[in-house]
Amino acid sequence: MINEIIRNIIRFILLVLVQALIIKNIELGRFINPFIYVLFIIVLPFETPKWLLLVSAFVLGISIDMFYDTAGMHAAATVFMAYIRPGVLKLFSPRDGYEFGTQPTVQYLGIPWFLSYASILVVLHHLVLFYIEMFRFSEFFSTFFRVIVSSIFTIVLVIISQYLFNRKSEKE
């Protein structure tokens, strides 16, 4: 239990630092904005209480907002993603439910399950984030294109990170 809390705190700090110090400074074009920090919410354990999920999402989002100078946009998108996460998990729930003490990872549930689950959360996060940022419908289609392209890049980064950092936790 304590090890899991410490692991999640370290993951939180590393993802915020990677997002703020590395990914933010990489110029990928006008339409490509990957946000690897969403991985923190995606891989929290299944039994994480809703209140803790929402509070963690807010702190994560506001931390990113401080680095991006975006006045709550990341916090709003991340809290929305955390709010919708239990419903998405229920949508993809196995017949017997999820095993207690596990996390939604590629190694535990496989690539098709994880890709479906993470893609829905990432696309919803990006939709909220980019439409709050734009806050007008005159550029609806260019913003939607930005959502799709950025989501693809974010999902690729999330999958790569799953293979790089979660190899050892293969169905313990």
| Residue 134 belongs to domain with CATH number | 1.10.1760.20
pLDDT digits (tens, 9 = 90+) for 2-15: 788 898 899 999 99
What domain range is 118 assigned to?
A: 2-169
The owner of tokens 């609806």 is: 140
- Tell me the pLDDT band of 97, cut-offs 50, 70 and 90: confident
**pLDDT given at position 170:** 42
Total of domains in the chain: 1
Q: State how far the Cα of 148 lies from the Cα of 51, in Å rounded to an integer.
A: 29
Q: What is the pTM of this model?
A: 0.89
**pLDDT given at position 61:** 95
Q: State how far the Cα of 74 lies from the Cα of 57, in Å rounded to an integer.
A: 9
- Tell me the pLDDT band of 167, cut-offs 50, 70 and 90: low
**pLDDT given at position 172:** 39
| DSSP one-letter code for 3 | H
Where are the alpha helices (H) located in 18-72, listed in sequence order?
A: 39-42, 50-68
State the chain's mean pLDDT as an integer: 89
